[in-house]
Amino acid sequence: MSGLLALLDDVAAIAKLAATSVDDVAAQAFKAGSKTAGVLIDDAAVTPKYVTGFKPDRELPIIGRIALGSIRNKMLILLPAALLLAAFAPWLITPLLMLGGSYLCFEGAEKVFHWLFPHGNARVEEDLDVRDPAHLEEERVAGAIKTDFILSAEIMTISLATIPESNFWFEATTLAVVGVGITIVVYGSVAVIVKADDIGLRMAERGRLGLTRAMGRGLVRGMPGFLRLLTIVGTAAMLWVGGSIIIHGLEALGWPWLYDTIHHVAEGVGGAISQAAGFIKWAVTALLDGIVGLALGFVLIPVATRIVGPAIALVTGKKESAH
């Protein structure tokens, strides 16, 4: 009897340990995922454009195909690469983070540049001339998955840098949870955004109550403005996150001047405003990080469009497409 009780105690201890490990993984995955907010918002803001021009009954299948490609990117390529990086070349994590941060700064600054100096997008005009919807769908899905790969690489690298040094299985499980969870959140949100106008139209046409029809009309009218707002927020978040990554990376590599300067300015402003000092410090830091990100992004635009882009096109043999 005593042996059975001892066995039950051991089982209970193992179950408790397993439950604690699950809680630790979930908590760490949430923490790591929250660090990628800027990338997530931009991903959700960018993806709806890939279903523009298709019939409503193809929108969700296209989003599903992109989501499946995103899962493959994260689980089959980026997760093993991140674990190998952590095991054999952890010193590369900071430079790779800074490379990804530079990409975010470039993307954000390019959007700001297009807002300030609007011009036509040749690739979009080419798409409008394509008369084969199946061919266009294949091109759009392939392009979306390529874009997702870059954003997913940044997400997984940021998440890896956030996870405290631990054992292989903890890191692998946490990254897997982050990858799957983020994919569900992003593409679930995209599906809701894309179908919101259809839902609103149905409510406006078939609603039994006046309030329901009014809400439907409001949803249809409000979605274009919401998408514009989402794009603005996503761009600001990209510049903030990208600038923050660069600034912290420079500090980690032994050049703390910029980080210290921003920290002192934020502390000074927060100290001068006693009410909500913590929020003020965060807001000032985020603003200055974003300004640094925007400035770096503007510097990178000619580098990316006149040097890196043509070089990649030369190597791959493909025409350089307009962003």
Banded pLDDT at 255 (limits 50, 70, 90): very high
pLDDT at 56: 76
Contact (Cβ atoms closer than 8 angstroms) between residue 291 and residue 301: no
The answer to whether position 317 is within a domain reads no
Which residues form the domain of 220?
2-224
Q: Which of 77, 71, 22, 72 is nearest to 181 (CA)?
A: 71
The answer to whether position 296 is within a domain reads no
Average pLDDT, the chain: 76
Measure the CA–CA gap between 313 and 307, rounded to whole angstroms: 10
Mean pLDDT over 92-99 rounds to 85
pLDDT at 13: 40
What digits encode the pLDDT tens for the residues 163-173? 777 777 777 88
Mean pLDDT over 8-27 rounds to 40
The answer to whether position 249 is within a domain reads no
Percentage, residues of the chain above pLDDT 70: 76
Based on the structure, what is the number of domains in the chain? 1
Contact (Cβ atoms closer than 8 angstroms) between residue 156 and residue 75: no
Mean pLDDT over 9-35 rounds to 42
pLDDT at 19: 35
pLDDT at 289: 92
The answer to whether position 156 is within a domain reads yes
Most confident range (mean pLDDT) of 47-51, 131-135, 280-284 is: 280-284
Mean pLDDT over 21-25 rounds to 45
SS3 string of the chain?
CHHHHHHHHHHHHHHHHHHHHHHHHHHHHHHHHHCCHHHHHHHHHHHHHHHCCCCHHHHHHHHHHHHHHHHHHHHHHHHHHHHHHHHHCHHHHHHHHHHHHHHHHHHHHHHHHHHHCCCCCHHHHHHHHCCCHHHHHHHHHHHHHHHHHHHHHHHHHHHHHHCCCCCHHHHHHHHHHHHHHHHHHHHHHHHHHHHHHHHHHHHHHHCCCHHHHHHHHHHHHHHHHHHHHHHHHHHHHHHHHHHHHHHHHHHHCCCCHHHHHHHHHHHHHHHHCCCCHHHHHHHHHHHHHHHHHHHHHHHHHHHHHHHHHHHHHHHHCCCCCCC
Banded pLDDT at 97 (limits 50, 70, 90): confident
pLDDT at 183 over 90: no
What digits encode the pLDDT tens for the residues 218-228? 887 887 788 78
Banded pLDDT at 290 (limits 50, 70, 90): very high
The answer to whether position 200 is within a domain reads yes
Banded pLDDT at 318 (limits 50, 70, 90): low
The answer to whether position 116 is within a domain reads yes
Q: Is 259 left (phi over 0), alpha (psi -120 to 50) or beta?
A: alpha
What digits encode the pLDDT tens for the residues 45-95? 666 767 766 777 788 888 889 899 989 988 899 889 888 888 888 888 888
Contact (Cβ atoms closer than 8 angstroms) between residue 91 and residue 253: no
Measure the CA–CA gap between 201 and 198, rounded to whole angstroms: 5
The answer to whether position 320 is within a domain reads no
The answer to whether position 25 is within a domain reads yes
